[in-house]
């Protein structure tokens, strides 16, 4: 049984307060809140990225069989360079071990695949590949924004040359089957889907410090024992990297858990660590999954409703998409970059109006007082950008 541990690493480029009169609180072009972004990046770097990467490096040095994988969004990489260059260097140090894999995704952590024109999606994937190649070897495995996946997504990603793609291991696409195997995808020839074991992933990502949980406290020996009892070829443990130190603070014991895990796993001879690309090379697809509608790992619905579930989100997304052709016609690199930054999925995530625990998570991450404030501020900025675009076309 191979254990594949993967972490999403992302920080959104949050927007500055922006009125209909074009009065921005701060930011280079008036749209992005550099002060807030810097503050959050440095805070999370000190609580998560720096200590977690230091620990990962020591684990890779101490345990030659240990493997780990990441996807770093282009938006995150830009903020590293701008606000915390030591974080990027610490990831480069992990890359130099040869046992930390860096997966591909959309550079701007966007919903670009959902555009009618797929050229923008392809362009962002290519931009991300180039960004990763500056400090690490590129991967043949792809992970779309928030693990968005469907037959058509897999087909396009296969055409781009990828041999593997990450997805959520949902019961309604698996039926009686287990997520602990690689699967082919309906309509594709060779790409293999690596499915997240969401229960074991969420045991760490969400429940680790939950004192109401029947398995609290979660210890490394207990978790390794659970892994040892699984049947299949592999188990995919996927989560946000901010799990360590940010979502679960250091005093919960989360770093001690991570530090002890490789040694506990090594007590079971049939358990090994692998990267996604190693799994794709090692194991055949045991069966085929059929996913005609887009799924994701977000919210209880596990679909696109986290970003496009209400009329505000759909309205904002429609306007953003409609501006794309005119933006590209200008051939203005700054305008194109700004438009793409405004396509960051987090802007739409903040507009979500769900209920109960799902909305609690949205509110936790949002810098706004309400989803309606998020929508108003975003549309103020997008309308102003639309005017700048019209001025650029007149020149």
Higher pLDDT, 7 or 354: 7
Tokens of 281: 């090379």
* List of E strands, the chain: 2-9, 68-72, 100-104, 138-142, 164-168, 182-185, 192-196, 234-240, 272-273, 285-289
Give the helix/strand (H/E) hosting 156. Answer: helix 151-159
Q: Which residues contact 376 (CB under 8 A, 6 or more apart)?
A: none
Tokens of 395: 């020149």
Higher pLDDT, 18 or 339: 339
27 pLDDT higher than 50: no
**Residue 347, exposed/middle/buried by CB under 10 A (0-12, 13-18, 19+)?**
buried
Q: What span, in angstroms and rounded, lies between the C-alpha atoms of 167 and 289? A: 11
Give tens-digit pLDDT for 36-75.
999 999 999 999 999 999 999 999 999 999 999 999 999 9
- Enumerate the active-site residues: 146
When pLDDT is averaged across residues 298-310 and rounded to a whole number, the result is: 93
φ/ψ of residue 252, rounded to 5:
-80, -15
Q: By C-alpha distance, which of 317, 338, 321, 322 is closest to 388?
A: 338
| The predicted structure's pLDDT at residue 21 | 66
Tokens of 64: 């030659």
Q: By C-alpha distance, which of 233, 232, 257, 228 is closest to 244?
A: 257
User: What residue segments make up the domains of the chain, in order of their start?
Assistant: 2-289, 305-390
Q: What span, in angstroms and rounded, lies between the C-alpha atoms of 48 and 285? A: 35
365 pLDDT higher than 90: no
| The predicted structure's pLDDT at residue 394 | 73
End-to-end alpha carbon distance in the chain: 62
Tokens of 105: 């995704």
Q: By C-alpha distance, which of 269, 253, 262, 252 is closest to 224?
A: 262
For the chain, how many residues are written?
395
| The predicted structure's pLDDT at residue 300 | 87
Please state which CATH number belongs to domain 2-289: 3.20.110.20
Q: By C-alpha distance, which of 248, 302, 296, 268 is closest to 150?
A: 296
Question: pLDDT band at residue 25, thresholds of 50, 70 and 90?
Answer: very low
| The predicted structure's pLDDT at residue 24 | 46
Give the helix/strand (H/E) hosting 198. Answer: helix 198-205
Question: pLDDT band at residue 26, thresholds of 50, 70 and 90?
Answer: very low
Q: What is the mean pLDDT of the chain?
A: 94
On whether the CB atoms of residues 14 and 276 are closer than 8 A, the answer is no
On whether the CB atoms of residues 362 and 349 are closer than 8 A, the answer is yes
Determine the Cα angle at 135 with ends 131 and 138, to 5°: 65
When pLDDT is averaged across residues 89-104 and rounded to a whole number, the result is: 98
Rounded to a whole number of angstroms, the CA Rg of the chain reads 21
């Amino acid at each position: 049984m191979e254990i594949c541990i993967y972490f999403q690493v992302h920080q959104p480029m949050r927007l500055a307060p922006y009125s209909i009169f074009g009065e921005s609180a701060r930011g280079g072009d008036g749209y992005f809140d550099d002060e807030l972004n810097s503050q959050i990046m440095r805070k999370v770097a000190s609580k998560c990225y720096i200590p977690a990467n230091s620990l990962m490096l020591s684990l890779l040095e101490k345990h030659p069989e240990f493997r780990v994988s990441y996807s770093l969004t282009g938006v995150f990489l830009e903020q590293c360079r701008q606000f915390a260059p030591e974080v990027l260097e610490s990831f480069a140090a992990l890359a130099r071990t040869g046992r930390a894999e860096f997966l591909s995704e959309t550079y701007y952590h966007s919903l670009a695949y959902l555009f009618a024109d797929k050229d923008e999606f392809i362009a962002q994937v290519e931009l991300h590949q180039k960004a990763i190649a500056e400090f690490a070897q590129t991967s043949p495995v792809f992970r779309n924004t928030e693990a968005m996946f469907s037959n058509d997504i897999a087909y396009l990603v296969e055409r781009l040359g990828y041999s593997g793609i990450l997805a959520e291991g949902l019961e309604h696409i698996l039926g009686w089957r287990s997520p602990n195997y690689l699967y082919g995808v309906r309509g594709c020839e060779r790409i293999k889907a690596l499915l997240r074991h969401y229960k074991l992933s969420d045991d760490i990502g969400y429940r680790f410090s939950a004192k109401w949980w029947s398995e609290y406290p979660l210890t490394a020996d207990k978790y390794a024992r659970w892994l040892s009892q699984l049947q299949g070829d592999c188990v995919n443990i996927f989560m946000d990297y901010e799990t360590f130190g940010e979502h679960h603070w250091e005093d919960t014991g989360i770093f001690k858990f991570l530090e002890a895990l490789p040694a506990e796993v090594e007590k079971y001879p049939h358990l090994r660590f692998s990267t996604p690309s190693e799994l794709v090379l090692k194991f055949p697809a045991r069966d085929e999954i059929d996913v005609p509608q887009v799924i994701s790992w977000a919210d209880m619905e596990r679909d696109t409703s986290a970003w496009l579930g209400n009329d505000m989100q759909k309205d904002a997304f429609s306007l953003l998409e409609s501006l794309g052709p005119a933006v590209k016609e200008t051939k203005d690199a700054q305008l194109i970059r700004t438009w793409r930054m405004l396509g960051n999925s987090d802007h739409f995530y903040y507009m979500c109006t769900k209920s109960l625990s799902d909305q609690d998570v949205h509110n936790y991450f949002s810098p706004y007082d309400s989803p309606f404030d998020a929508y108003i501020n975003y549309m103020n900025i997008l309308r102003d950008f639309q005017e700048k675009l019209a001025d650029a076309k007149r020149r």
